[in-house]
A and B are shown apart, each in its own frame.
Chain A
C-alpha cells in the first residue's frame, strides 16, 4: 500500500483537522466526537446533520457549510460513527427551528442514528430523521435492508440546505428531502478495488480485464462481474439502469451527475458525461444542471456512478442557490 498517511489509526482525525485548518473562517471541530460544524449557527433556521463512515469525501464532513449541512460526524473508514458522536452532532447544532437528520441507508448508520435521535428527543430536541436510498443496483446488499444511499445524497443535502437557509420550517425541509429522494436514482460501476488505510490491502479482488457493475461505495457487490467494455457501452449500462428505474421520460428536466469514485481522472468522467448527455437527449430529457466530478467516493476506487434527479421549479431553484463548503475549487 502506498498512501499519503502517517499512522493509519490517525488518518481520519488528521484529515478532519486539515479540513478545519483550511476553513477556519467557516468551520469548527469537536475532535472528541470527530464532528465538524458551522460557526455561528442561526437558531431560527432548521439545522441539517449527517454522519457516516469516512472514505467517501467530500461527503459528508466536507459538505458542511452555509447552504449545505450544519454539522456532520465521521466514523472510521467505511464504518458508522458511534452513537455518542451522532448524538453530540445533533446536540451541537440543535436549533429552535429543529434538526433534520439525513441518514444514508446502511444498517450501521441507521442503528446509530436511530439511537442518537431517541436520546436527543428525550432531551427535548425537536428533530426529524430521513433515510436516503437512491441506488438502483440491488434491492438488498451486504450492509442494507433495501436500497443503499449513495451519490444522490448530494442532491438531498443541497436542496435541504438551500431551503433551510430561507427560514423554512422543519416539515417543509423534510418534505423536500422526501421529494428529492423520490426522484433521484444512481447506479455505480467499479474498475478496481480500494484500500482502507487501516486494512492496508484491497477489500475485494477484481481482474485487470473485469468490472463490477452496480458496485456499492464500500466495494460491496452489485449486479454482476463482467469483462470490461468501452466507455460508451459502460455509460449505456448505467444510463439504462437509472433512466428505466424512475422512469425518467420525455419532457423531464433533470440534474445529471457523473461522480468519480476516487481513482478515475476528470477527463474520463467527461467521456462518460458526453455519452450520457446524448442518451438523455435521445430519451427527450433536458439536462438543466450537470455535475461532473467527485461528490461521493470510495477512497481510491476507479470507476464512477451516474445519478439523475427529476427536477421541478422549486428543486431547480434550490440547486442553483449559493452554498459554501470545504470543497472550494473557484
Chain B
C-alpha cells in the first residue's frame, strides 16, 4: 500500500500555496458576491508566509510540520479563515504526531480529525454552506475507498468538492459573514468550497491525474 512521507506532503503544501496565491483576486471576488470580499486576500496573505517558511520548517515528522503550518495559518491568515484552517491543520497534526510517513488510513483519520475540529471551532454543520460541505463528503469518500491507488482517490475527492459547489449554490449561508446578508447569499457559490475544490483540482493537474471539472468555477 502506498504511504506519504514528509517530503511528499511538503510538496503538496507548496502546490497549495501557489494555488491560493494565484487565486487571491478570484477568491475575493467570489466572496464579494455575498461576504465581505476579503477571503482571497486573507488566505493569500497567510499562504505567502507559509510558502516562504515551508523550506525551513521542522521536518522531523508530518505532525511537527503541520503543527507549525497551523500556527502560521492562525497567525497570518486574516478573519475567521485563520483559526478555521489553522484548526484543521492542528487536528491533522495531532493524528500524525511523530510519524515520518502516513498510511492511507492515517491520512483519512487526519482529514476526519480536521473536519471534527473545524465543526467544533466554528459551530457549523453540513448544509450551512461552508467549506465543511466539501470536506465532509471528501472524508466519507476516503473512508469508502481502500487507498491502493492514490490517483483514483484524488480524482474521487476532487469530484466530491466539485459537486459541492453546485449542490450548495442555492443554499442560504448560516455561518460566517455571508450569513448576515440572508437570502442574498443564495445563488452565489461559497468561496470556501470553491477554494477546497480549486486546490484539489490543481493537485490533479500537478500529479497528472485526469479530471474533468463540472462547476463553472472550476472549469473557468
Q: Is the CB–CB distance between A122 and B74 below 8 Å?
A: no
Q: How far is the CB of B85 from chain A (nearest CB, A)?
A: 11
Interface residues of A in 58-105 (CB under 8 A from B): 82-84, 87
Tell me, yes or no, whether B86 is within 8 Å of chain A by CB.
yes
Tell me, yes or no, whether A127 is within 8 Å of chain B by CB.
no
Q: How far is the CA of A122 from the CA of B86 in the complex (A)?
A: 15
- Contact flag A122-B87 (CB < 8 Å), given A83-B71, A84-B71, A87-B71: no
Which one of B71, B75, B97 has the greatest number of beta carbons of chain A within 10 Å? B71
Across chains A and B, the number of contacting residue pairs, with CB separation under 8 Å, is 32
Q: Is the CB–CB distance between A115 and B97 below 8 Å?
A: no
Q: Is the CB–CB distance between B90 and A119 below 8 Å?
A: yes
Tell me, yes or no, whether A112 is within 8 Å of chain B by CB.
yes
Q: Is the CB–CB distance between B83 and A122 below 8 Å?
A: no
- Contact flag A118-B90 (CB < 8 Å), given A111-B83, A111-B121, A112-B83: yes
Point out the residue from A83, A114, A118, A122 that lies within 8 Å of B75, measured CB to CB. Answer: A83
- Chain A contacts for B94, CB-based, 8 A: 122
Interface residues of B in 71-120 (CB under 8 A from A): 71, 74-75, 83, 86-87, 90, 94, 97
Q: How far is the CA of A114 from the CA of B87 in the complex (A)?
A: 10
CB closest residue in chain B, given A88: B71
Q: How far is the CA of A111 from the CA of B82 in the complex (A)?
A: 10
- Contact flag A114-B67 (CB < 8 Å), given A82-B75, A83-B75, A119-B90: no
- Chain A contacts for B83, CB-based, 8 A: 83, 111-112, 115
Residues of B within 8 A of A (CB): 67, 70-71, 74-75, 83, 86-87, 90, 94, 97, 121
20 examples of A-B residue contacts, CB within 8 angstroms? A82-B71, A83-B70, A83-B75, A84-B71, A84-B75, A111-B74, A111-B121, A112-B83, A114-B121, A115-B70, A115-B83, A115-B87, A115-B90, A115-B121, A118-B90, A119-B67, A119-B70, A119-B90, A122-B94, A122-B97
Q: Please name 15 further chain A to chain B contacts, defined as beta carbons within 8 Å, in addition to the given A112-B74, A122-B97, sorted by A numbering.
A: A82-B71, A82-B74, A83-B75, A83-B83, A84-B74, A111-B74, A111-B83, A115-B74, A115-B90, A115-B121, A118-B90, A119-B67, A119-B70, A119-B90, A122-B94
